[in-house]
Structures are given as C-alpha cells and as structure tokens.
C-alpha cells in the first residue's frame, strides 16, 4: 500500500465586515469547475504557500518587531486574498484604498503570476501586510484518503466597512457576501456547495454577532485531520476524539465528534465529548 500524499502548506482568510449593529457578513468565492480540488465549491479566499511568503524575505521591512511563528501562513492568506478577491489587507488601510480600477486588476494578475510581486506592491503603497491583525481560527488537514491534500491554517480578518471585493474570474467564477447563517441556509437549500471544513467553520462563526465576540473567542489551535469512516449507513468524517478516528480516537466507543454526510449530500454534526453540546 502506497503512503498518503504529503499535504501542501496552505492558508485561507475569512474576510468579515459588519452588517448593521447585530450581524456581519463574510466573503466567499466559488471555485471554477475545472479546479482540481473542490470544484464548484464556495470557500474562503486562500491558496498554497510560496517561497516568497517566507519570513526571511520580509523581516527587514517589519524592522525590530518580532514576527509571528506562523508568519508565512498569515502572509500567504493576505496575498491570496488579494489575488482572489482584490481585498488588500494592509496595516494602513488608507494606502490600500489608493489601489483602484485597472491598476488593481494589473497588480492582481502580477501577483497571481509571480508571488514575489506582492512585496513590490506593498513597497509601492508604502505599507505592510496586516499580519498582526489576523485572528488565528483553526487548522485543518485533508484526510489521508484524498489524493490531493492540504495542511491549511484559517484566519479571520475584520474590516470595519464592507470592502470592494470581486472574484478573479479564473480560479474563481463567482463570489458573495453573506452572513454565516445565510450561507448555511443556502447550503441546506442546495443552492451552494460547501466543503465540510467550510461548513464547520460557518457553524462556528454563526454563533457570533460582531468582531468583539470573534476577537475574544478562545481558540485552541491544533491540527484537525478528519478520518473517513461509516456509521448508521452514512459516510462520516471522524474528527479527533471520535471513537472512529484512526490516530486520535476517543476513550469510549460511544464518543462522537463527527461530520455526517447525509444521503441528500447535506451534513449533520454529532458531538458528545466532555464539555461539549
């Protein structure tokens, strides 16, 4: 039996903006049908890390500040967000606003074609990627059974106003701003396809109403690698602590921490670990 493919390092960012006093929306893009992974799915902007994201090539620009240990993931999520949505998350948001129209389109293509151009863009705008303002949210690893695998860090970026955003019309063919709850409803209605990690994340986000709640949420970040199994006639994605998980099973055969793939292609969630609900 051959060993599972090694996952590629990747990062994604949940761009969130307020919608009235008691809600917020997140930006999602729809992957092209020609995509080799999760074709046609709505996901948060993101992609694989590039050598140009390495901390060594950026440290001098940030001066004496100590950069986060996950800097490359944070930088990649910001770079990919710009490529896929046009939203440029800089420390000085006013500088981001200077990039408009055709000039923005040109820079999006440049960065898409050559990740090293992102540093040149930041230099031209005289500001740096807002790596410190990202909220680390989760860490998902594709199951070993999948032929194409990713080790992905999820971050949340809050923007005080709804930024202008649009899919790139190459890797992504549609985009939407909607509340986490609305996206979940669209999935249930069959008008939007969500990969399990995206669905799970939207369920978590739906519990909050504003940035204060998101920012103060205590997140214990550890790799979540689902394991394919079956129970009750359904395919399940066993998460760490579930009795069916291959490498991190629960202490009891009754332990549940799983996403259930239902016959109608919707998902259910079962969780009964200590302290859960």
Closest CA to 176 of 191, 197, 155: 191
Instruction: Give the pair of three-digit tokens for residue 90.
Output: 């800089």
Strands 8-18 and 257-261: unpaired
Domain range list for the chain: 8-216, 227-271
Task: Look at the block and give the residue holding tokens 């761009």.
Answer: 15
- pLDDT tens-digit profile, the chain (277 residues): 556 778 999 999 999 999 887 799 999 999 988 766 677 899 999 999 999 999 999 999 999 999 999 999 999 999 999 999 999 999 999 999 999 999 999 999 999 999 999 999 999 999 999 999 999 999 999 999 998 999 999 999 999 999 999 998 888 899 999 999 999 999 999 999 999 999 999 999 999 999 999 999 999 999 999 999 999 999 999 999 999 999 999 888 899 999 999 999 999 999 999 754 4
CATH topology of domain 8-216: Nucleoside Triphosphate Pyrophosphohydrolase (3.90.79)
Instruction: Give the pair of three-digit tokens for residue 5.
Output: 């493919």
Query: What is the widest separation between alpha-carbon atoms in the chain?
Result: 59
pTM, two decimal places: 0.94
Spatial CB neighbours of 106, under 8 Å, sequence gap ≥ 6:
none
Is 16 within 8 Å of 214 (Cβ atoms)? yes
Is 41 within 8 Å of 31 (Cβ atoms)? yes
């Amino acid at each position: 039996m051959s060993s599972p493919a090694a996952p590629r390092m990747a990062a994604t960012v949940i761009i969130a903006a307020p919608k009235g006093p008691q809600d917020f929306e997140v930006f999602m893009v729809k992957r092209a049908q020609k995509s080799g992974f999760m074709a046609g799915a709505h996901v948060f902007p993101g992609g694989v890390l590039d050598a140009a994201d390495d901390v060594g090539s950026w440290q001098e620009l940030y001066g004496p500040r100590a950069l986060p240990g996950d800097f490359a993931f944070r930088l990649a999520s910001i770079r990919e967000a710009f490529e896929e949505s046009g939203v440029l998350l800089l420390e000085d948001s006013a500088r981001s606003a200077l990039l408009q129209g055709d000039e923005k389109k040109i820079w999006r293509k440049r960065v898409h074609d050559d990740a090293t151009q992102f540093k040149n863009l930041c230099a031209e705008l005289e500001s740096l990627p807002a790596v410190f303002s990202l909220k680390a949210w989760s860490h998902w690893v594709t199951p070993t059974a999948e032929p194409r695998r990713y080790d992905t860090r999820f971050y949340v970026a809050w923007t005080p106003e709804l930024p202008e955003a649009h899919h790139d019309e190459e890797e992504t063919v549609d985009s939407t701003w909607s509340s986490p709850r609305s996206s979940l409803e669209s999935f249930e209605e069959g008008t939007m396809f969500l990969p399990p990690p995206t669905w799970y994340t939207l369920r978590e986000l739906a519990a909050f109403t504003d940035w204060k709640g998101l920012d103060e949420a205590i997140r214990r970040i550890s790799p979540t690698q689902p394991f394919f199994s079956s129970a009750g006639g359904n395919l399940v994605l066993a998460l760490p602590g579930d009795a069916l998980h291959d490498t991190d099973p629960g202490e009891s055969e009754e332990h549940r921490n799983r996403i259930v793939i239902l016959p109608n292609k919707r998902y259910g969630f079962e969780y009964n670990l200590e302290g859960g609900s």
